[in-house]
Amino acid sequence: MSDKDIGTMGIIEMRGVDKWYGQFHVLKNINLDVKSKEKIVICGPSGSGKSTLIRCINRLEEHQKGQIVVDGVELTNDLKHIEQIRREVGMVFQHFNLFPHMTVLENLSLAPIWVRKMPKAEAEERAMQMLNRVQIAEQAKKYPGQLSGGQQQRVAIARSLCMNPKIMLFDEPTSALDPEMIKEVLDVMIELAREGMTMLCVTHEMGFAKMVADRVIFMDKGEIIEQNDPHNFFDNPQSDRTKLFLSQILGH
Amino acid sequence: MAVPGSASEVMVGPPASQVGFLGWMRRNLFSNIWNTLLTVACLYLLVMLVPPAFDWLILKAVWSEAPPETCRAAEGACWAFIREKHRVILFGRYPFDEHWRPLLGICILLTMVMVSCFRRFWRPWIALIWVGGLFGFFALMWGGDIAVNYRTVAVLAGIAVLGVSFSRRAIASNLRSLFLGIAALLLILGIGGGSVLRGLDSLLGFVGAGPIFAGLDGVLFSIPLGLSYVPTSLWGGLPLTLLLSIVGIVVAFPVAILLALGRRSNMPLIRTVCIAYIELIRGVPLISLLFVASFLLPLFLPRGVEINDLARAQVAIILFSAAYLAEVIRGGLQAIPRGQFEAADALGLGYWQKMGKIVLPQAITIVIPPIVNTFIGLFKDTSLVSIVSLTDLLLATKDIAIADVNWRSFYAEGYIFVALIYFVFCFFMSKYSQYLETQFETGRRRRR
């Protein structure tokens, strides 16, 4: 991706965001600006706060200090704001979190029908389009438990896309998958990136980062240690912690 | 290596001792010394108990219509007693010549239940069947004239508004709470009616309000049914037991869901109220609740306010079961992984959508067995209403049928008969719960 694809408009702004779990300081003074259509990969050792960071963006976690503005709406305790932001922000989870008591089609059309108040027929048509996009349309009538992990994750991506989000958050989308299924999910994500979606991905797939990311962010102990374009990030890391981390995950 | 014609190519079945009836016996009845001893002991008990029981219950029993003397002379059970008394057991003190009415009433209640058992009928219109069915039941049982007053109109209007407020696309969601409020107001006015407001009036003493609201009770017009009036104090037997348990189950279930959700709510006030309610009600026996509802409550109610005995017992049963059921449902809620809540949140679903579409359907499926357990308990607990002098199935047997001096010695037959009736209903519930489990299990088994 080249820089000219990225919009100039900021879509997410985080200013001095702090969060604690009890006494544990998970996020320390996070400042992050994401531009529209920007693709960001966030990596770092486990427990570094990277998942918490993106989960603050759609208020699955509450930040305790600082300011988060998403698409012009500030995240506060106001439920209206939270729901407004959640409608525009899709999220894909490590463990898919599909609804097991519903068919794939029902999983996809649920939110458009109930949140966007879309007529059922239209929602199902859209759902089928999205299933086609992630190349899994033939599974529409099945239940999530009948699909492989890779298929489930693609359904989860399609489910988010049905809401026509402006931003997609990926929380370690390939970590729970068997190795042979990782590629099918990454292919869908790469395709999505090409189409100009604003994406924040927490992942350890460095190949994906090199190929897709506009910016790679390295976090450790709740802080953003380093951020750079992928070329400079991988070839010329600045901090010692980044070097250590990269040597650990790329070392073998 | 398999050489043609060698033993390894011939299909070898398991040894004869492992298959067929003998194999089954060996595996299940005589697998080791203890198992064998247990089998022999059970066989001995069966031989000792079954033939005499069979003799008494069937072979030597008096089956035909016969006077008590014949029964006393016979060695077996006296089913002539049941032939003679089954109508008072089933219908209690209800006027003898009018027994067709409670019989039809039972049929209405059971039809409603049967229809509701089929999953394909789980549609909004089933509520209409229940409203109509219960209306028919009460009209039949009560008889007399149906007096249509403003309260009746208010209740009907309330139900209608309630129905409209739940239709999905009829109204925007922000209007829904307004509609719900109107429905609640109409229902409170209608059900509580003049007596509630008159009670308030006599408590607070704002003069003048009473007469205005008393107008609510004024009869608009009445529809004569052509049936004699039978007060609830004469209702009894199976219709009473069925009414108390069916209405108990149907009302307690949604109340329990709200209590369970309330107990897990983030709002401290709601959570505290729900916890206090559940713990308080679970902490006392049903008998004491019935007692309070029947004997103590009237002492505290203001003058002019009367609540029907049957209604008081019904409310006590509902409040009691709802507390137990709430804890069962909470168990199901806790079994739902956090990811399900998060996925629903991330999609922008509101609280009620998240609970109604995602969480509750899964949670309730998990706890079907204990829910039905509670229902069966409720069904049998209705027999406790006898302490507030409602003639349920058991009390009708004990106080009317067995109380007859001529037949007094045949109480065992009477109790066996009611036990059988209770068993049929409980067994049905148990079987239905298994059916529901297999229905929903399909979805789960696919999950691996």
Whether the predicted pLDDT of A1 surpasses 50:
no
Name the least confident of A244-248, B176-180, B255-259: B176-180
Give the model's confidence band at B264: pLDDT under 50 very low, under 70 low, under 90 confident, else very high.
very high
Taking alpha carbons only, the member of A181, A176, A134, A183 closest to residue A159 is A134
Name the least confident of B59-63, B146-150, B388-392: B146-150
Contact assignment for B347 to A89 by CB distance below 8 Å:
no
CB of B176 less than 8 A from some CB of A: no
Give pLDDT, residue B119. Answer: 85
Contact assignment for A110 to B357 by CB distance below 8 Å:
yes
Give pLDDT, residue B438. Answer: 87
| A60 or B76, greater pLDDT | A60
Q: What are phi and psi of B267, to 5 degrees?
A: -85, 115
Q: What are phi and psi of A77, to 5 degrees?
A: -75, -5
Give pLDDT, residue B253. Answer: 95
**Residues A227, A167, A233: CA angle, nearest 5 degrees:** 15
Contact assignment for B339 to A144 by CB distance below 8 Å:
no
- For chain A, what is the mean pLDDT? 92
Region A179-189: mean pLDDT is 93
Residues B436, B108 contacting (CB under 8 angstroms): no
Whether the predicted pLDDT of B170 surpasses 90:
no
Find the length of chain B. Answer: 448
Q: Which residue has the tokens 């998958």?
A: A177
Contact assignment for B447 to A83 by CB distance below 8 Å:
no
Whether the predicted pLDDT of B169 surpasses 70:
no
Distance CA B360, CA B330 (A): 10
Tell me if residue A196 falls in helix, strand or coil: coil
Contacts with B340 from chain A: Cβ below 8 Å: 97, 99
| B188 or B367, greater pLDDT | B367
Residues A108, A162 contacting (CB under 8 angstroms): yes
The enclosing domain of B268 has a CATH number of 1.10.3720.10
Per the structure, the count of domains in chain B is 2
Give pLDDT, residue B448. Answer: 39
Query: How crowded is residue B334: how many other Cβ atoms within 10 Å of its Cβ?
Result: 11
Out of B342, B357, B446, closest to residue A93 by CB? B342
Contact assignment for B349 to A111 by CB distance below 8 Å:
yes
Q: How close, in Å, is residue A8 to chain B by CA atoms?
A: 26
Residue B241 belongs to some domain of the structure: yes
Residues of A within an 8 Å Cβ radius of B: 58-60, 83, 86-87, 89-91, 93, 95, 97-101, 110-111, 114-115, 142-146, 159-160, 163
Residues B250, B130 contacting (CB under 8 angstroms): yes
Contacts with A159 from chain B: Cβ below 8 Å: 347
Residues A139, A107 contacting (CB under 8 angstroms): no
Name the least confident of B61-65, B172-176, B434-438: B172-176
Whether the predicted pLDDT of B135 surpasses 70:
yes
Range of the domain at B39: 16-59
Distance CA A213, CA B60 (A): 90
Whether the predicted pLDDT of A12 surpasses 80:
yes
Whether the predicted pLDDT of B447 surpasses 60:
no
Give the model's confidence band at B286: pLDDT under 50 very low, under 70 low, under 90 confident, else very high.
very high
Out of B346, B349, B440, closest to residue A114 by CB? B349
Contacts with A163 from chain B: Cβ below 8 Å: 347-348
Structural element, H or E, at residue B306: none
Whether the predicted pLDDT of B354 surpasses 80:
yes
Contacts with A83 from chain B: Cβ below 8 Å: 348, 350
Residue B382 belongs to some domain of the structure: yes
Among residues B59, B74, B90, the one where a domain terminates is B59
Name the least confident of A132-136, A247-251, B138-142, B364-368: A247-251
User: Which of A80, A99, A169 is most worth mutating to test chain B (most B CB atoms within 10 A of its CB)?
Assistant: A99
| A68 or A10, greater pLDDT | A68
Whether the predicted pLDDT of A102 surpasses 60:
yes
Q: Which residue has the tokens 């022999």?
A: B40
User: Which of A73, A93, A101, A107 is most worth mutating to test chain B (most B CB atoms within 10 A of its CB)?
Assistant: A101
CA nearest to A146 within chain B = B446
Residue B361 belongs to some domain of the structure: yes
Out of B345, B350, B448, closest to residue A60 by CB? B345
Name the least confident of A36-40, A56-60, B134-138, B140-144: B140-144
Give pLDDT, residue B22. Answer: 81
Whether the predicted pLDDT of B385 surpasses 80:
yes
Give pLDDT, residue B2. Answer: 46
Query: How crowded is residue B159: how many other Cβ atoms within 10 Å of its Cβ?
Result: 17
Give pLDDT, residue B16. Answer: 66
Q: In terms of pTM, does the model score above 0.80?
A: yes
Distance CA B121, CA B127 (A): 10
**Runs of H (alpha helix) within chain A:** 50-57, 79-88, 104-114, 120-133, 149-161, 179-194, 206-212, 230-235, 240-250
Give the model's confidence band at A194: pLDDT under 50 very low, under 70 low, under 90 confident, else very high.
very high
Distance CA B351, CA B111 (A): 35
Beta bridge partners of B392: B237
Whether the predicted pLDDT of B288 surpasses 70:
yes
Contacts with B343 from chain A: Cβ below 8 Å: 91, 93, 97-99
Region A216-240: mean pLDDT is 92
Tell me if residue B248 falls in helix, strand or coil: helix
Out of B346, B349, B447, closest to residue A100 by CB? B447
Structural element, H or E, at residue B220: strand B219-224
Q: Return the structure tokens found at A229.
A: 């374009």
pLDDT tens digits along A72-87: 999 998 888 999 999 9
Whether the predicted pLDDT of A8 surpasses 90:
no
Contacts with B342 from chain A: Cβ below 8 Å: 60, 91, 93, 97
Q: How close, in Å, is residue A62 to chain B by CA atoms?
A: 13
Q: Which B positions 342-401 lie with beta carbon below 8 A of chain A?
A: 342-343, 345-350, 353, 357-358, 361-362, 365
Give CA separation, B45 vs B25, B30, B31, B394, in Å: 19, 17, 20, 30
Tell me if residue A68 falls in helix, strand or coil: strand
Question: Does the ipTM exceed 0.85?
Answer: yes
CA nearest to A112 within chain B = B347
Region A4-8: mean pLDDT is 63
Contact assignment for B443 to A91 by CB distance below 8 Å:
no
Residue B97 belongs to some domain of the structure: no
Region B131-150: mean pLDDT is 85
Distance CA B443, CA B169 (A): 29
pLDDT over 90, % of chain B: 43
Out of B340, B440, B446, closest to residue A99 by CB? B340
Distance CA B410, CA B59 (A): 17
Whether the predicted pLDDT of A4 surpasses 60:
no
Three-state SS string over B96-144 comes to HHHCHHHHHHHHHHHHHHHHHHCHHHCCCCHHHHHHHHHHHHHHHHHCC
Contact assignment for B350 to A89 by CB distance below 8 Å:
no
Give the model's confidence band at A3: pLDDT under 50 very low, under 70 low, under 90 confident, else very high.
very low
Contact assignment for A143 to B447 by CB distance below 8 Å:
yes
How big is the A-B interface in CB pairs under 8 Å?
73
pLDDT over 70, % of chain B: 86
Q: Which of A2-16, B200-214, B240-254 is modeled with the greatest confidence?
A: B240-254
CA nearest to A168 within chain B = B346
Contacts with B447 from chain A: Cβ below 8 Å: 100, 143-145
CA nearest to A84 within chain B = B348
Out of A89, A101, A111, closest to residue B443 by CB? A101
pLDDT tens digits along A42-55: 999 988 999 999 99
Give pLDDT, residue B203. Answer: 61
Residue B168 belongs to some domain of the structure: no
Contact assignment for A83 to B348 by CB distance below 8 Å:
yes
Strand-pair category, B391-392 with A223-228: unpaired
Strand-pair category, A89-92 with B145-149: unpaired
- For chain B, what is the mean pLDDT? 84
Give the model's confidence band at B124: pLDDT under 50 very low, under 70 low, under 90 confident, else very high.
confident
Q: How close, in Å, is residue A1 to chain B by CA atoms?
A: 28
Contact assignment for B357 to A160 by CB distance below 8 Å:
no
Give pLDDT, residue B192. Answer: 67
Give the model's confidence band at B259: pLDDT under 50 very low, under 70 low, under 90 confident, else very high.
very high
Residue B94 belongs to some domain of the structure: no
CA nearest to B361 within chain A = A101
Residues A70, A86 contacting (CB under 8 angstroms): no
Distance CA B67, CA B62 (A): 10
Give the model's confidence band at A28: pLDDT under 50 very low, under 70 low, under 90 confident, else very high.
very high
- Residue B296: half-sphere exposure toward Cβ, Cα within 13 Å: 8
Residue B369 belongs to some domain of the structure: yes
Give pLDDT, residue B200. Answer: 62
Distance CA B214, CA B211 (A): 5
Give pLDDT, residue B63. Answer: 86
Give the model's confidence band at B159: pLDDT under 50 very low, under 70 low, under 90 confident, else very high.
confident
CB of B11 less than 8 A from some CB of A: no
Whether the predicted pLDDT of B42 surpasses 80:
yes
Tell me if residue B13 falls in helix, strand or coil: coil
Give the model's confidence band at A249: pLDDT under 50 very low, under 70 low, under 90 confident, else very high.
confident
Residue B247 belongs to some domain of the structure: yes
Contact assignment for A98 to B446 by CB distance below 8 Å:
no
Out of A86, A101, A142, closest to residue B348 by CB? A86
Region B243-249: mean pLDDT is 94
Region B132-156: mean pLDDT is 83
Distance CA A154, CA A188 (A): 7
